[in-house]
Structures are given as C-alpha cells and as structure tokens.
Amino acid sequence: MKRNSPTIDIHLLGTFDIRLAGNALKFPYEKPKLLCAYLITEGGPLSRSHLAERLWPDRSTHHARQNLRQAIATLKRLFGTTFDELFTLTRHSVEFIGHGRCTVDIELLKDTAQTSSNSVIAAWQSPISYFYPGPFCQGMNIGDCQEFDEWLQARRLEFQSLAITLSRKLLNAGNIAGD
C-alpha cells in the first residue's frame, strides 16, 4: 500500500461492510455491492460482458453494459483516489488487484482454515465469530438473476464449510492446550 493510502477493511462475511480509513462506504444500491463482492471473491480479470450478463441477465446487452458502467462509476466515486489501487479497468475487463492493499475477511478465514492444526493453536483463543461473523454477503440477493443467486449460495456454502473446518481446528487446539 502506498505510504499515504488509507486503511481499507473489507467485510464480506456477515453484514457487507467496506471501511475506508475507518469510515463505512455507503452504497446507494445492491448491484455495486454485489459487483464489488464478485470481483473480490472471484479474482483475476473478468470480462465486462460476463459481468454485465451475470448482473443484468434480463436486460439487453446495451443496457446491461450501460448498467455495469454506472456500477463501476459508483465504485469509483465511493473509493475515490484509492480506486486505482484496488481495481484495474480495461476496455474489456475489470479486476480486483487490492488483495495486498487491504484486509479482506474471507482471506483471513481461508488462510486460517487452511493452516495446519498445529499452526492454528495461536488463534484458538479467538471466538469463531471473529473469523466467521455470518454468511457471505448476508441478506443480499439480486432476485431477478438466478445464476448470480446460485453463485451467492455456492459462496455462502464454501465459506460456511471453511468456518466449520476452522471450528474443528480451534476445538482441537483448545483440547491440545488443555482448555
């Protein structure tokens, strides 16, 4: 992160919350939130046509692409000068590149759940709610987009499974420590 860059905390588990220098970003509607969550979770450059089709399947290609441009403009406005540190835009794709520039709760959960049981002993005193405060993008759906809602459900199950794995490791670590 650049020396003068504000701290960025991204919480996709439980209630969706992104904080820039401690201040919560206020998203005006759901689709920019879901676009942001999708970009962060899926990684790699994602084609604009794929994103437009996924988020606005009931719209014509022209209108879906227009809506995507508006959602990206909303993200640019919300993130301000840090946008370029977090996202790369090309004419054909959008990519989240900010993994090393911010803290993302799903990365903490993945990293901790995937460590060996012996390594998790250091974290065993933290409650599981620290790692898993609730389902991925809790309460969010698109309603008019079955494919996207299926993606949300799959991610919710993925992160819930990781939380269960981590819970087991934390219990084992507690047993090893005699607590």
Same domain, 13 and 39: yes
- Does residue 141 lie in a domain region? yes
Distance of CA 178 to the CA centre of its chain: 35
**143 and 69 in one domain?**
no
Pair of tokens at residue 30: 């759901």
pTM of the model as a whole: 0.87
Which residues constitute the domain of residue 171? 105-177
**One digit per residue, pLDDT tens: the chain, 179 residues?**
444 566 999 999 999 999 999 999 999 999 999 999 999 999 899 999 999 999 999 999 999 999 999 999 999 999 999 999 999 999 999 999 998 899 999 998 888 888 766 555 555 555 666 778 999 999 887 777 888 889 999 999 999 999 898 888 777 766 655 65
CATH number at residue 19: 1.10.10.10
Is-contact 156 136, C-beta < 8 A?
A: yes
Domain total in the chain: 2
The token duo for 147 is 């494919």
Query: Residue 172 domain-assigned?
Result: yes
Write down which residue in 73, 96, 119 finishes a domain.
Answer: 96
Residues 6+ apart with CB under 8 A from 155: 41, 136, 137
